[in-house]
Amino acid sequence: MFDTKSLCLNLIERSDVATALSTSGQVDARYLAANGTYLSLIERIWDELDGQSLIGKGSAIDDAARERRLGLLDRQGFYDCEQAVIGTASGRRVAVEISAQRIWCSGLACDLEFFRPLGPLADPVEASDHDARPLPRACFRPELQANLQMLSGFDRTILMRRMLTAVAEGGLLVAKVAPNPSIIRFSEVLRNRLAPYLSAERGGAETKLDFSALDAATAERHLLDMAGDIWSLIHFAKDSDAARLLERLVAPYTRPPSLLVGKTGS
């Protein structure tokens, strides 16, 4: 169709940078469209965002900086290269630059935003007895890394999802086996981060993880970030039995980040 909304949606789909279109408003803005680059940036699929609130379901963080940016759109209709922080599905915060334009789509006031990632910020997972620095990512064991490079794209995607499921399910269940405060806190935070991928089994008594929408790169990023969190928890654990239990979750696939190797020895 040759209407302004359809033309705008076509522009977003063809954009090489992360792009999203929403209705205007500070608290009631809702998604109208987003391209694949934006969805990858915030670790979402479109079905999770379609018609949903930018704040409640999306990446927007309602703070004074966002209020100021919206004021620029109200007053002058655009802004360029404004630094901001957005949230991802896993709970991670990412620093970005945003350029935006207030537009009208078939009579509806909308905001068209373009995002350029600058880098990750601190991870919200809290481990005991250390500060809230960004936690380093784990890396794959060398033999596994060599095998991954020989896999086809399809096989690599399937394997990444399965490894991610194994580590994530173990992270959620470990608090039942080793109920010390730091592990319970980790499992609770992990459950919140994994909420978009949790679905209730029939009857609602149990939950299962569904990573079927993730591509190989996104699943790998989640896996290595999560393994880095667990290695950090092992590093600071005071309970040796709990540390060994946590190590069984990640040692088959990963090695600890270099900053933690001295303590874990793996």
Predicted local confidence at residue 199, as pLDDT: 67
Q: What is the crossing angle of helices 153-177 and 181-193, to 10°?
A: 140
Residue-level pLDDT at 119: 55
pLDDT at 122: 42
Instruction: Give the residues of the chain that fall short of pLDDT 70.
Output: 1, 119-137, 199-207, 257-266
User: What's the helix, strand, coil split of the chain in %, to 5?
Assistant: 45, 20, 30
- The per-residue pLDDT for range 158-203, each reduced to its tens digit, is 999 999 999 998 888 888 887 777 788 778 878 877 888 876 554 4
Amino acid letter, residue 189: V
- Domain limits, CATH 3.30.450.20, in the chain: 4-120
Q: What is the CATH number of domain 4-120?
A: 3.30.450.20
pLDDT at 34: 94
pTM for this model (two decimals): 0.48
